[in-house]
């Protein structure tokens, strides 16, 4: 099979890009990858990881990317430790500093940690191992070919003599680093660390409540801050009773922040993250700051977005769908003629709501401004843009700002924006003291960058042989200016495009005054529900088994399209067949009345996933998910099986929770939901078993933080149809939809 892998290319690093320093602490090795600093120039952009070998043999490995629960602080060092050939129990992991000149882009998003670093970080360990071997060979006056390693030791093969890595570390100062491309990497059969389950490195600290997260940070002389913003996104402060707030015991300062009302809409497709208007209260305790905030009696200026509402958006979408789309993104064949000649046609309207990220740790940041320099401790997924934002907003040089990456209590895309960082920085400068800003749960839910809502108006037709011959989608989506709002777009290659002879995708934008942004599996988390549910409808209209219908639709080619939009149809067929076998799909007709199984599949973030859900629906419309089976293809190697299973199971339950419970509704320009009382998450009692199987295929491994979520939702809705005969076309699912 010929397939154009979309994984990043191997490093073009050479000897000059391998940096070595030796001091009293031992050997430190960095690995730099040639790359573009910016699209407009040819400057190198280093991507470094560092290994330190202490004289006592302890190895410290720096993790370069933020960890918000996805486990990269464990997984990335595992790659280095494996090729270095060191025992995992001898490894200490620390976060690298935010330093783009040394490390390149440091971020957590897009399930990119594995595909970006699979080759590069293994070569870090391999180069370090080769240098230790050369140092030992020099000491033994032999060739490096006479040496090998066992964990933490170099071994002289003819004599069996051993030297510890710690005893060789200083000698590496005289070793010329080899070209990383020439250093052999281990065969997978020889792995001792990669492929073996490892707990997250910080688990002990998490379960014992040790300071670790952003909200745990402390600084000498630190004050606490709250920051209130208008319910209507972007509205400015008309007035506030600052003196009443200052009268509260413990309150040190209260002031209005003019901010930028358009901060959350910086441009098409971008994530708004500027300084919004509001009022800050600073006190010697967070509770005092909160009490002062309650006394502010803020009056907000009028804002045009106050007229917007979820009901208004839905009505406008229906109005726009009655006409032609503003633009076509795809038009293959003759859709209208094919629909007219189809044996059966289906027409349906699908909708999904705004969603909040609802990360359990609300947004927070600690900042200290002193002598014209800013230091920040932030649970950010995207530290360097945060530094640049603070520099721009406060009029500082980026090099005068230090950002410390601290663990985030959930991210899911929310912490790719850095609004909380710039708020803390501004308040710290005004307060002239270190400040920890903590959002309330209500702040977090009502000032999110929401998963955008969307409306799809679809038509499809099948021929007499049950083949899907025509499909059209009029997509009404939120917009900022000329383009879609952040995370509100859709690719012209959205499946099943390229697998159907007649396809038309058209888009009508809808102006939006609500901030949006990526949420776990952005775009895909909504589009999978729409297209996989509609394909299920078409399968039933054709009188066919939905899983068999999907396999027939995928055809017999292994790959469809060209990079970067190539689609591995063969890989998708593989996971569909596997999940059918795992779930006993062929025997689903034996389920009792009120129970059903549904299937969904989806390709996102370089991963191919197929899932089957088994549900029971009671006569009063209550849904019980009994089990979900997942077949996944993310390449030839699962780096940390414990972390991988955690990510897949968590993604599935996350998707089910969104479908069954969650929505943000807008009224009078503001979010109506404010806490978990009216934005409930799935409870433990609702969680179902999730059985996972990873198919090993000969492709570079890819990420797992996101691609398991999208197919979980249509697997659920299709199972509900199988159990009840009622089709779910809007989310969230409520009992009223399903009552007998």
Mean pLDDT of successive 10-residue stretches along the chain, which has 740 residues: 36 48 57 39 33 89 95 97 96 93 90 95 93 96 98 98 93 88 96 97 93 96 98 96 98 96 69 88 98 98 96 98 96 98 98 97 98 98 95 96 97 96 98 98 98 98 98 96 90 98 97 95 98 98 98 97 94 98 98 98 98 98 98 98 98 98 98 98 97 97 98 98 98 96
737 and 728 in contact (C-beta within 8 Å)?
yes
**Spatial separation of the C-alpha atoms in residues 291 and 174, rounded to whole Å:** 63
Structural domain contains residue 337: no
Written as six digits, the tokens of 158 are 């003819």
CB within 8 A of 478, min separation 6: which ones? 313, 452, 453, 454, 484, 485, 488, 509, 510, 511, 512, 514, 516
CB within 8 A of 696, min separation 6: which ones? 635, 636, 637
Tell me if residue 259 falls in helix, strand or coil.
coil
What per-residue confidence (pLDDT) applies to 31?
A: 55
Both 184 and 224 in one domain: the answer is: no
CATH of the domain at 72: 3.30.365.10
- Give me the DSSP letters along 653-689: HHHHHHHHH--B-EETTEE---STTTSPPPPGGG---
Written as six digits, the tokens of 64 are 């370069």
Counts of helices then strands in the chain (DSSP H, E):
18, 29
The residue out of 174, 207, 240 marking a domain boundary is 207
How many domains, in total, are found in the chain?
3
**Spatial separation of the C-alpha atoms in residues 488 and 667, rounded to whole Å:** 20
Both 623 and 730 in one domain: the answer is: yes
Angle in degrees, CA 512, 517, 521, rounded to 5:
130
Both 434 and 289 in one domain: the answer is: yes
Looking at the DSSP bridge assignments, the partners of residue 376 are: 367, 403
Structural domain contains residue 314: no
Structural domain contains residue 473: no
Structural domain contains residue 435: yes
What per-residue confidence (pLDDT) applies to 634?
A: 98
Both 235 and 203 in one domain: the answer is: no
**Spatial separation of the C-alpha atoms in residues 692 and 647, rounded to whole Å:** 11
Both 105 and 131 in one domain: the answer is: yes
**How many C-beta atoms surround the C-beta of residue 28 within 10 A?**
19
DSSP state of 142: S
Written as six digits, the tokens of 196 are 């073996």
* CA distance to 42, 136, 434, 615, 711, per residue, from 588 (Å): 58, 63, 61, 11, 19
The residue out of 188, 207, 226 marking a domain boundary is 207
Structural domain contains residue 323: no
Structural domain contains residue 519: no
**Spatial separation of the C-alpha atoms in residues 218 and 236, rounded to whole Å:** 31
Both 101 and 237 in one domain: the answer is: no
Tell me if residue 484 falls in helix, strand or coil.
strand
Per-residue model confidence as pLDDT tens digits over 607-629: 999 999 999 999 999 999 999 99
Both 570 and 423 in one domain: the answer is: no
* CA distance to 353, 454, 526, 738, per residue, from 659 (Å): 10, 14, 10, 14
Per-residue model confidence as pLDDT tens digits over 189-221: 999 999 999 999 999 999 999 999 999 999 999
CB hemisphere CA count around 636 (13 angstroms): 9
Both 569 and 683 in one domain: the answer is: yes
Both 189 and 246 in one domain: the answer is: no
Both 173 and 267 in one domain: the answer is: no
**Spatial separation of the C-alpha atoms in residues 221 and 207, rounded to whole Å:** 28
**How many C-beta atoms surround the C-beta of residue 559 within 10 A?**
16
Structural domain contains residue 343: no
Which of 716, 604, 738 lies closest to 656, judged by CA? 716
Angle in degrees, CA 222, 227, 230, rounded to 5:
175
* CA distance to 21, 168, 417, 670, per residue, from 414 (Å): 38, 45, 6, 18
Written as six digits, the tokens of 154 are 């170099």
The residue out of 426, 446, 466 marking a domain boundary is 446
What per-residue confidence (pLDDT) applies to 710?
A: 98
278 and 226 in contact (C-beta within 8 Å)?
no
Written as six digits, the tokens of 476 are 């009404």
Structural domain contains residue 227: yes
**How many C-beta atoms surround the C-beta of residue 311 within 10 A?**
11
729 and 533 in contact (C-beta within 8 Å)?
yes
CA 620 to chain centre: 36
Written as six digits, the tokens of 19 are 């940096």
Both 273 and 159 in one domain: the answer is: no
Q: Give the residue numbers spanning the domain of 235.
A: 218-303+357-446
Both 228 and 171 in one domain: the answer is: no
What per-residue confidence (pLDDT) applies to 174?
A: 86
**Spatial separation of the C-alpha atoms in residues 473 and 329, rounded to whole Å:** 10
CB hemisphere CA count around 257 (13 angstroms): 32
Angle in degrees, CA 73, 76, 82, rounded to 5:
125
**Spatial separation of the C-alpha atoms in residues 542 and 466, rounded to whole Å:** 5
pTM of the model as a whole: 0.93
């Amino acid at each position: 099979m010929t397939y154009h892998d979309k994984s990043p290319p191997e490093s073009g690093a050479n000897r000059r890009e391998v940096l070595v320093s030796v001091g009293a602490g031992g050997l430190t090795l960095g690995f730099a990858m040639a790359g573009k600093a910016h699209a407009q120039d040819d400057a190198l952009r280093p991507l470094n990881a560092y290994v330190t070998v202490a004289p006592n043999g302890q190895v410290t490995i720096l993790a370069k990317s933020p960890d918000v629960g996805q486990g990269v602080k464990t997984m990335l060092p595992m790659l280095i430790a494996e090729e270095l050939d060191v025992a995992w129990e001898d490894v200490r992991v620390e976060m690298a500093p935010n330093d783009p000149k040394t490390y390149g882009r440091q971020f957590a998003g897009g399930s990119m940690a594995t595909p970006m670093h699979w080759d590069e970080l293994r070569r870090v360990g391999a180069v370090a191992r080769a240098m230790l071997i050369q140092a030992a060979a020099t000491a033994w006056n032999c060739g490096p070919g006479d040496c090998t390693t066992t964990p933490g030791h170099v071994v002289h093969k003819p004599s069996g003599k051993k030297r510890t890595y710690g005893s060789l570390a200083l000698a590496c100062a005289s070793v010329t680093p080899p070209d990383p491309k020439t250093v052999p990497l281990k065969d997978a059969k020889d792995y001792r660390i990669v492929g073996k389950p490892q707990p997250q490195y910080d688990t002990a600290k998490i379960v014992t409540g040790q300071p670790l997260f952003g909200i745990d940070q402390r600084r000498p002389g630190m004050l606490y801050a709250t920051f209130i913003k208008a319910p209507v996104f972007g509205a400015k402060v008309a007035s506030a009773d600052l003196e009443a707030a200052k009268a509260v015991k413990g309150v040190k300062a209260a002031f209005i922040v003019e901010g930028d009302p358009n901060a959350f809409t910086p441009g098409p497709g971008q994530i708004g993250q500027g300084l919004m208007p509001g009022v800050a209260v600073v006190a010697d305790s967070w509770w005092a700051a909160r009490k002062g905030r309650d006394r502010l009696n803020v009056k907000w200026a009028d804002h045009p977005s106050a007229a917007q509402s979820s009901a208004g958006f839905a009505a406008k979408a229906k109005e726009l769908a009655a006409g032609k789309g503003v633009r076509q993104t795809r038009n293959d064949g003759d859709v209208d003629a094919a629909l007219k000649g189809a044996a059966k046609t289906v027409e349906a309207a699908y909708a999904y709501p705004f969603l909040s990220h609802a990360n359990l740790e609300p947004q927070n940041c600690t900042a200290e401004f002193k002598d014209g320099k800013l230091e920040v401790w932030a649970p950010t997924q995207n530290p360097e843009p945060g530094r640049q934002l603070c520099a721009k907003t406060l009029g500082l040089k980026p090099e005068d700002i230090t950002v410390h990456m601290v663990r985030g209590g959930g991210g899911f895309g929310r912490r790719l924006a850095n609004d909380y960082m710039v708020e803390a920085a501004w308040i710290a400068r005004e307060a002239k003291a270190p400040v920890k800003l903590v959002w309330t749960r209500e702040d977090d839910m009502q000032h999110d960058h929401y998963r955008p809502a969307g409306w799809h108006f679809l038509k499809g037709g099948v021929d007499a042989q049950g083949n899907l011959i025509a499909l059209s989608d009029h997509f009404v989506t939120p917009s900022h200016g000329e383009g879609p709002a952040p995370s509100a777009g859709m690719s012209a290659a959205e499946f099943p495009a390229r697998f159907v002879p007649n396809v038309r995708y058209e888009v009508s934008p809808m102006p939006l005054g609500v901030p949006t942004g990526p949420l776990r599996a952005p775009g895909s988390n909504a589009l999978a529900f729409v297209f996989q549910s509609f394909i299920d409808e078409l399968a039933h209209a054709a009188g066919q088994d939905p899983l068999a219908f999907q396999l027939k639709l995928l055809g017999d080619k292994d790959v469809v399209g060209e990079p970067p939009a190539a689609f591995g149809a063969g890989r998708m067929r593989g996971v569909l067949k596997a999940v059918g076998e795992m779930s006993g799909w062929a025997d689903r007709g034996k389920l009792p009345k009120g129970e059903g199984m549904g299937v969904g599949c989806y390709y996102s973030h370089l991963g191919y996933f197929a899932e089957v859900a088994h549900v029971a629906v009671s006569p009063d419309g209550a849904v019980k998910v009994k089990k979900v089976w997942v077949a996944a293809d993310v390449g030839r190697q699962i780096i940390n099986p414990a972390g991988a299973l955690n990510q897949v199971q968590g993604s599935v339950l996350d998707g089910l929770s969104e479908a069954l419970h969650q929505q943000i509704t807008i009224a009078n320009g503001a979010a109506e939901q404010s806490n978990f009382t009216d934005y409930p998450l799935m409870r433990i009692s609702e969680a179902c078993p999730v059985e996972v199987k990873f198919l090993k295929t000969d492709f570079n491994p890819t990420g797992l933080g996101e691609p398991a979520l999208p197919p979980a939702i249509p697997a659920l809705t299709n199972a509900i149809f199988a159990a009840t005969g009622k089709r779910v076309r809007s989310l969230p699912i409520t009992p009223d939809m399903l009552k007998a």
